[in-house]
Amino acid sequence: MRRTVLAAAILSLAAVAGASRAAQEHGRYATYSLLHEIGSETYDLTATPAGAEMTVRATLSDRGATRASAWTLRTGPGFAPVVLEQKRDGAPADEVWRTEVNGRAATVEEPSGRRAFAPPPTAYVGFPLMPAALQMTMMRYWLAHGRPADLPILRASDLAPPLEIRQAGVDKVKLPSGAARLTRYTVANLLFGREVLWMDAQGRLAAVMTFAGGLPQEQVLEAYRPAFDALVASGVRQEMADLDELDRQVRPEATGTFAIVGARLIDGTGAAPIADSVVLVRDGRIAAVGARGAVALPAGVKVVNAAGLSVLPGLWEMHSHYSGVEFGPALMAAGVTTARDCGGEFGFLTAVRRKIDREHALGPRLLLAGLIDSGGPLGFGAVDAETPAEGVAAVDRYADAGFLQIKVYTQIQPDVLKAIAAEAHRRGLTVTGHVPAAVDAFGGIADGMDQINHLQFVTRAMLPEGSNGPVDLSSDRAKKLIALMKERQIVIDPTEGWGEMGGHPKAVSARTLEPGLDAAPFTLASKFEAMGGPGDAAGLRARIAANGRVIKALYDAGVPIVAGSDTGLIGYGIDRELELYVAAGLPPMAAIQTATLGAARAMRLDKDSGSVEAGKRADLVLVEGDPLANISDLRRVVKVVRAGELYDSAALGRSVGFHRTHGPVPPHGA
C-alpha cells in the first residue's frame, strides 16, 4: 500500500520523541450544535521518550448549561494507546472514565462498569462522545496500522462493536491561504450511525460531523472554519450516499398490489376490532378493507398471511430530532411510518425528505417543523429572529421549503412570537414549540401558538407564580388553562417518556424503564445506561404519577394529545410514551390514536392518513399480540408497510444494529 503524506506525518511526529517537551502540535476546534456555535475544544500534542502525550480541553455552553471536560491520552510508538482518561468538571467523585493498556492486559473503567481483559493486537481506546482531537489520533493510529477493515474499540463492555472506518472521497475547499485537499472518511460504531470526518495532508482532523446519536454536532479546526459551510454540504451528500447503501441492504417484500389477510384489524378510528380482516393495498393506497369475505381479492393477488397478528395504522413519531439516515430504518422497524422533526438541520432534513419522497429511500414520511430561536449564548439552532421582521423572513424561508410547521424556542420575545405566528398562519403553517421564557402557556396561546411541545410548559403555567408544585388540578388556574386548551384545541406533545429517561435516578436501571435497550445497538444502549442522577425509585414513581394525572386530565377534557419521544430510544421511545399514557389511565385505543389518527388530525393530514380506511395512504404496522389488551404488544412489530411497500421489521432493524427482542414492561416505569 502506498504510504500517504498523512502516514508519513504521523511517523515523523513519533520520531521526535525525546527531543523536546514543548508541544509539537496545537489546535483549536469550534464546536456547533445544529449549526449553532456552542463552544470550543483545544489540544496540545507533545512528544515523549516513549511516544506522545495529548491533552484536550473542551468547554460547551448549550442553552445556558456550561460543561467543561478534559482528556489525557498517552501513547507509545505509532500512536498505540497506553492511557486515556477523562475528567468532567462537577462530576461525582465516583465517576471514572479511564482506559489503560499494559502489554497484553487492558483495564477499562466507565460509570457503567469495569473490565479487565487481553486486548487484540490492534485496537484503539474510546469513550462516548469522543472529541475531535482524540478522533484525530484514532485516525492516525488506523492509518499507521494499515487501515484495518475493523478496528476494535476498548470499552467496559465486550459488546462494543469494532469501528468501521472507510475512505469515502476527496473534497477540495477554498481557504484565504489557497485551496486545500481534504480526504473524507466515514466512521461507524463510535456513536449510532456513521460520522463524516475529513483529514488534511498534515494528518490533522479538519472537521467532523456527527449526524446521529442525539442532536447533530459539528466540529471544525480553526484553519478550516472558512470552509465550514462547504464541508457541511459535502457531509449531507455523503449521508445521502450512505442512505443509498442502506436501501441496497433492505428491499421491500411486497409492492404494487397485495393483500394482508387474517389479522385482527384495529383501524385507528375507535371502531371495534375485526378479528379476521383483509386489507387490500394497491399502488401505495388502501384499496379496500373489511372482514374476510366482505372484500373481494383480485385473481392472483399476492397474499400476506397475517393470522395471529394485529394490523394497525402506521405509527406517527411526533417529536423526533431526525439526526442521521440510520434513523429511517430504526423508526420503520418499530412501525413508525410518519415522523415529525422538531428541530434539525435545514440542508440535511430537506435532502433526506426529498430522497424518501421521490426515491422511496428507507425512512418514514417526514413532516418538518422549522426551528426559530433568538440568538446569543442561550439560543438553539442556526435560525435566529431578534426582530419581528427577522421572524417573518425565517417563516417564509421554511414555508417556501415545504415545512408544515414553525417550532418556536425559549428565547423568542413576545413581539417576535406574534409576528412569527401571524406569518405562519398566513402561509398555512401551524406553530408549535417551547413556550418562550418571556411568557407562559396562557401568553404563548394568546400570541398565536397552536401546539406545545413538552408537558412541563403546561404544568408550569398551572402553578401559582413562584411555586414549584405539585400541580393542583382543582385550582382555578389549572382549570382555566385546561379550558383554554380545550377551547382552542391546543395540541400537547408531552414527551413523558423522555422526561422519565432523562430525569431518572441512577438507582433505577435504564433497562427497567426502556426494555427496548435490550434490542438496541451498543452505541445507543450504553448512552442511556450511563444516564441518571440523584434520587430514588419512589421519587421517580411519584413524579411520573403526578405528570400522568395531568395527562389524564387533559385527555378527559378533550385536549388533543400526540405522542413523541424527543431524544429517547429511536423507535422504541414511541412505545414507551404510549405505555405511560395507558399507565396514566388513557384507554389503549385512545393511546394508540395519539400516535395515529389524532396525530394526523393535529397535522391536518387525517383525510389522507392516520387510520386504516379505503383511499388512505397504505401506512400499516403488523404486530404480534393485541395492543388493545396489552399496549406493550406494539413493541412486537413483525412487518411494516410504508406508502404501500411492505418491509420486514427485523431486516430493517439489523441494517442499523438493532436486533429483535421483547422484554417485560413495568406498569409505572420503575
Helix (H, G, I), strand (E, B) or coil at 584: helix
Largest pairwise CA distance in the chain: 86
pLDDT at position 238? 98
Average pLDDT over residues 59-80: 92
CA distances from 513 to 112, 332, 350, 500, 546 (A): 16, 22, 33, 8, 17
- Calpha distance 403→399 (Å, rounded): 5
* Residue given cell 430504518 in the structure block: 329
Question: Residue 523: which H helix or E strand, with range?
Answer: helix 522-529
Residue 583's pLDDT is what? 98
Q: Which residue has the higher pLDDT, 635 or 20?
A: 635
- Cis geometry, peptide bond prior to residue 252 (ω within 30 degrees of 0): no
Q: Which tens digits make up the pLDDT trace of 521-572?
A: 999 999 898 888 889 999 999 999 999 999 999 999 999 999 999 999 999 9
Distances from the Cα of 636 to the Cαs of 363, 392, 403, 645, in angstroms?
A: 19, 45, 32, 19
Residue 19 has pLDDT above 80, yes or no: no
Cβ partners under 8 Å of residue 102, min gap 6 = 82
Query: What's the CA gap between 334 and 292, in Å, rounded?
Result: 27
Q: Answer whether 553's CB lies under 8 Å from 482's CB.
A: yes
* 3-state SS, residue 2: coil
Residue 10 near residue 145 (C-beta atoms within 8 A): no
**Apex CA 588: angle with CA 582 and CA 590, to 5°?**
95
- Grid cell 482506559 in the structure block, residue: 99
pLDDT for position 58? 96
More confident residue, 65 or 254: 254
Contact 595, 263 (CB under 8 A): no
pLDDT at 76: 93
Residue 347's CB: how many other CB atoms inside 10 A?
Answer: 16
Q: β-strands 105-110, 97-102: how paired?
A: antiparallel
pLDDT higher than 50, residue 12: no
The grid coordinates of residue 335 equal 412501525
How far apart are alpha carbons 259 and 359 in whole angstroms?
24
Q: What is the pLDDT of residues 223-261, one digit of tens each?
A: 999 999 999 999 999 999 999 999 999 999 999 999 999
Structure confidence at residue 212 as a pLDDT band (50, 70, 90): low
Contact status, residue 79 vs residue 62, Cβ threshold 8 Å: no
Exposed/middle/buried for residue 263 (C-beta within 10 Å: 0-12, 13-18, 19+): buried
Name the residue type at position 610. G
pLDDT digits (tens, 9 = 90+) for 20-31: 445 689 999 999
Pairing of strands 81-88, 97-102: antiparallel
Name the CATH superfamily housing domain 310-655. Answer: Metal-dependent hydrolases (3.20.20.140)
Strands (E) in 456-585, as ranges, are 491-493
What are the tens digits of pLDDT across the range 301-352? 999 999 999 999 999 999 999 999 999 999 999 999 999 999 999 999 999 9
Rounded CA gap, 319 and 309, in Å? 28
Report whether 54 contacts 137 (CB < 8 A). Answer: yes
Cell numbers 515523523 correspond to what residue?
12
∠ CA 194-563-489 to the nearest 5 degrees?
135
pLDDT over 60 at 14, yes or no: no
Q: Where are the domains of the chain?
A: 5-249, 310-655
Per residue in 379-403, pLDDT (tens digit) is 999 999 999 999 999 999 999 999 9
Burial of 43 (0-12, 13-18, 19+ CB in 10 A): buried
Adjacent-strand bridge partners of 453: 493
Q: What is the pLDDT of residue 113?
A: 87
pLDDT at 50 > cutoff 50: yes
Q: Which residues pair with 99 in a beta bridge?
A: 84, 108
pLDDT digits 0-9 by tens, 470-513: 899 999 999 999 999 999 999 999 999 999 999 999 889 999 99
- What pLDDT does 661 receive? 59
- DSSP string across 400-447: HTT--EEEE-TT--HHHHHHHHHHHHHTT-EEEEPPPTTS-HHHHHHT
CA 37 to chain centre: 20
Query: For residue 654, is pLDDT > 50?
Result: yes
Residues in the chain: 670
- The pairing of strands 153-154 and 124-125 is parallel
pLDDT at residue 376 in the model: 83
3-state DSSP helix/strand/coil % of the chain, to nearest 5: 30, 30, 40
Q: Euclidean distance between the first and final Cα of the chain, in Å?
A: 55
Q: What is the pLDDT of residues 120-172, one digit of tens each?
A: 999 999 988 899 999 999 999 999 999 999 999 999 999 999 999 999 999 99
Task: Return the pLDDT at 92.
Answer: 85
Query: Letter for the amino acid at 186?
Result: T
Q: Please tell me whether residue 221 adopts helix, strand or coil conformation.
A: strand
pLDDT band at 40 (very low <50, low <70, confident <90, very high): very high
**pLDDT for 6:** 46
pLDDT at residue 667 tops 70 = no
Name the percent of the chain lying above pLDDT 70. 95
pLDDT number for residue 64: 85
The Cα 425–Cα 409 span in angstroms is: 17
Angle at which helix 476-488 crosses helix 537-557, to 10 degrees, equals: 50
User: 231 near 220, Cβ under 8 Å?
Assistant: yes
Contact partners, residue 344, CB within 8 Å, separation at least 6 = 34, 216, 321, 322, 323, 368, 371
| Of 93 and 575, more confident | 575
* Average pLDDT in the chain: 93
Q: What is the pLDDT of residue 9?
A: 47
| Angle made by CA atoms 35, 39, 45, in degrees to the nearest 5 | 115
Instruction: Write the DSSP string, 241-303.
Output: HHHHHHHHH---SB-SEEEEESPEE--SSSPPPBSSEEEEEETTEEEEEEETTTSPPPTT-EE
Grid coordinates in use for 181? 485537499
Q: Higher model confidence: residue 13 or residue 139? A: 139
The answer to whether residues 203 and 6 touch, using CB atoms and an 8 Å cutoff, is yes
Rounded to whole angstroms, the Cα distance separating 214 from 322 reads 9
